[in-house]
Structure 1
């Protein structure tokens, strides 16, 4: 049986926060990481928003709090601490149903002594979150939705359709890197076929890459490169769906939507290509 390996291939990585860990995974599988973050997480000025949320918790206005990401949970707690209201916030969260989209918000809550009563199953998309929340009666109940780095309108709409009295929190946002030079160089390298594969770990990375390509008048050449020749990997169905929206079908989407399984699946795919 042949061993799956990236065989020294150049693998473009547009992950931001976990860029180092993902690069190391690529190296372990014999690949050459080409890491250029396509986004940065920026905390929003959200003191009034968090103060209002904590007021609502203390007043018993919320029955359910939906946590999309660990970053969001951490941002909430950091801002509540800055406002000197963290104990009040944590106390209030103990008296609501906590629903989490994936393991990262579950872990962030656990570090603060809180447990999620509702957890989405793999692959941790909005569909699985709504499925897990189907057991909850939401009509007429207060629900707080903590978005990720951008507002998730389909989820907000689905909760409202179920009758939830919805409050929304947007505590941080995903922006393009301040210096677009490295990302512009990556686009040119992708179009010129100087890269063997590219891996995406969020839908925002896809959108930002094409946004930069559009600014260079290279969106169509980029799409063509990703349709033929360049191997494209997506960590899960959400990023795969965003690629599909740009008329790109990923070659690799692991069953387990995590970075490790994605790199393993990418190595297996590239090994089969050369067998």
Structure 2
């Protein structure tokens, strides 16, 4: 006789944009009912005018260092540049500067492109990358920072305060959903007790849901719900 699945009777709301179906299927296999309300969407790289402008700015003059934070972001940046006809120019520019890799995945992406990293911290942390950069004088240095979905304000502003010119390369930018209806209904479900848990897989999704609640006067209710009856589950330090 088959036992009762562990999430039977629970309703889980999913705000993710990427791999939402995969997460939902996993929860359903455990017995949960799932409601989808994407709080964000990813701007397609080839359509991202901000990424194109930042890449063009990088190519205008030599750069001293490029900080690469994620493998998927670094590969996506190179692929987008190739689509714009800037691929060879970008590879050439990157080969002439110090490439700093946050961890092994982005190190692999750098090497797969025929490039080599100058430094990669054992801790895989942005803090150690920043410390390494600041260990030498960055005054007047031109430094690009490849972001992935969300800004790194402390990292960027600290470099600027130290005298560096910083170019932010935002790969896979998150923006609000085209149709806010599903996430609006998901928020209602959280407030009326119909949803028992909200798993978050990215900080931008949290920020977007909170912003929606604030704009519509539902922020106090959302905070109360997530502080008690509704379980907020996060992947990593979100």
Normalised-by-shorter TM-score class:
0.7 to 0.9
Matched, 1:135 2:132: yes
CA distance in 1, matches of 2:34, 2:120: 33
Name the counterpart of 1:187: 187
Name the counterpart of 1:45: 49
Matches within 5 A, 1:1-275: 6-8=6-8, 9-42=10-43, 43=45, 44-46=48-50, 47-56=52-61, 61-70=62-71, 72-101=73-102, 105-106=106-107, 108-119=109-120, 128-136=125-133, 137-140=136-139, 141-237=141-237, 239=238
- Residues 109 and 225 of structure 1, relative CA distance in 2, 3 Å threshold: same
Residue 20 of structure 1 and its aligned partner are, at CA, apart by: 2.4
TM superposition score normalised by structure 2: 0.79
Out of 174-183 and 110-119, give the one that drifted further. 110-119
Residue 18 of structure 1 and its aligned partner are, at CA, apart by: 2.1
**Higher RCO (CA-CA < 8 Å; seq separation 6+):** 2
TM superposition score normalised by structure 1: 0.70
Name the counterpart of 1:273: none
CA distance in 2, matches of 1:63, 1:106: 18
Aligned-residue Cα RMSD (Å) equals 2.8
Given that 2:37 and 2:185 are in contact with CA atoms closer than 8 Å, whether structure 1 keeps it comes out as no
Structure 1: gaps (5+ residues):
240-275
Residue 78 of structure 1 and its aligned partner are, at CA, apart by: 3.1
CA distance in 2, matches of 1:65, 1:206: 29
- Residues 13 and 131 of structure 1, relative CA distance in 2, 3 Å threshold: same
- Residues 75 and 195 of structure 1, relative CA distance in 2, 3 Å threshold: same
For the residue of structure 1 that corresponds to 2:160, the secondary structure is: helix
User: How many pairs align?
Assistant: 226
CA distance in 2, matches of 1:28, 1:112: 39
Out of 29-38 and 99-108, give the one that drifted further. 99-108
Structure 2: gaps (5+ residues):
none
